Amino acid sequence: MAMILWATIGSGLILVGYYYYYFKALNQPIAPGEKMETEPVALLICVKNGIEEVRQNLSSWCEQEYPDYEVVIIDDHSTDGLCTYLQEMQDSYPHLSSYNAPVGIKDLPGKKAALQYGLQQIKKPWVLMTDADCRPATRFWIREMMDARTRPTSQCILGYSPLERTSALQSRWMAFETSWVALQYLGFARQREAYMGVGRNLLILRDVALAADLHPEMASGDDDFLVQAVDPKNIEVCFHQQAWTRTLAPESWASWWKRKTRHSQTALIYPGKIRLKLALISASLGIYYLGLITLLLTWHGWWTVMIWILCTLTVLPVRYPLIRKLEIPRYTWWWAEPLLVLAYGLVGLRMLFQSRKTWN
């Protein structure tokens, strides 16, 4: 029992260390840098059979308050009338362009080939990426993402894209899990250890993106590999609320499971140092909560309460500002974080048998 007790305490201390080194960095103000000049931007969206999402979000993409930008949509062999709809809408939005992906990439896994094709069509120096089901939080999205560049050497800006949630517990947990992932990739990026981004909200120099190795043998991970192609010193973050994009939570656990297992396979080829640090935080989280449960079930309730209270109070000065800053569902952290252990454990087992998937 002593071993379980010390393992629980040790894992709790490791989690506290992550909070204060990585997550606390998100509570620190970003030092003002040089005022960068306004540069042209292309908003790039790859779509496959997503006409309903495009109809809902097109106006929010095309009516941004930014002086020089275009919207480029790549139709990846849709069969729902998307091509015709986009051609009709170009009369209303002259800065909207649409391209049909080449026939040769139709059967390739994932959307990387469509993304690469889209980058080749763009002439503007900066590319802001999002997905068909994502809606900018405000009409100042592009401006805020571009203003996040504080150095002439900036090549990539990592954005934040929370899930829209309902009062249902399923929706609230999925929103929390999305925020938990964001805490890690944004916190690591603030410490010059960027390893991933989300394609729902990612700004990058076009030439850098074109030169990146997207690992076409894998169906997912295009956004992660774009980020890894950039020197971490040239990556910045932007989580100002006016720069968010929002998307609906998956409709079911099966949808979340499919998405998570598809994305998680990318982590297998992260740099070794990053894999180790991500594995350490996941393992520490698992040992911490399993240890607390074991102590509780073996009639060591006082130890359970003491360890939990001490760890919670220690991280609260970091956690509470993040709840407000990233709109993490209030009062959800207490029960949602332990469930990460179960969910990620099952995802890890499933990854052992993951086969190649298409992106939609």
Reported as a single tens digit per residue, the pLDDT across 64-110 is 999 999 999 999 999 999 999 999 999 999 999 999 999 877 777 77
pLDDT in tens, 166-183: 878 899 999 999 999 999
DSSP designation for 60 = H
Indicate if the pLDDT at residue 292 is higher than 80.
yes
Average pLDDT over residues 219-243: 93
Quote helix, strand, coil % in the chain, to nearest 5: 55, 10, 35
At 356 the pLDDT is 46
Whether 289 shows a pLDDT value over 90: the answer reads yes
pLDDT at 360: 53
Residue type, 344: Y
Q: Report domain extents, the chain.
A: 2-26+272-351, 35-253
d(CA 52, CA 3): 55
User: DSSP secondary structure string, 159-199?
Assistant: ---PEE--SSHHHHHHHHHHHHHHHHHHHHHHTT------T
Average of pLDDT values for 320-330? 89
In the chain, count of helices (H) and strands (E)? 12, 10
Among 3-12, 183-192, 346-355, which is the least confidently predicted range?
Answer: 346-355
First to last CA, the chain: 48
Would the pLDDT of 352 be above 80?
A: no
Q: Look up residue 122 and give its two tokens.
A: 């763009």
Average pLDDT over residues 351-355: 62
Q: What distance in Å separates the CA atoms of residue 347 and residue 257, rounded to the nearest whole number?
A: 8
Binned at pLDDT 50, 70 and 90, residue 16 comes out as: very high
Q: What is the CATH number of domain 35-253?
A: 3.90.550.10
46: which residues sit within 8 A by CB, 6+ positions away?
73, 74, 76, 111, 114, 115, 118, 131, 132
Average of per-residue pLDDT across 310-331: 92
pLDDT of the residue at 263: 79
| Average pLDDT over every residue of 147-169 | 92
Look at residue 172 in the predicted model and tell me its pLDDT.
Answer: 92
pLDDT cut 70: percent of the chain above it: 97
In this predicted model, what pLDDT tens digit does every residue of 271-285 receive, in sequence order? 999 999 999 999 999
pTM of the full predicted structure?
0.92
In the block, residue with structure tokens 């990739």: 185
**What is the per-residue pLDDT for 328?**
87
Lowest mean pLDDT among 101-105, 122-126, 136-140: 101-105
Q: CA-to-CA distance for 298 and 84, rounded, in angstroms?
A: 65
- Of 71-75, 138-142, 321-325, minimum mean pLDDT range: 321-325
Mean pLDDT of the chain: 91
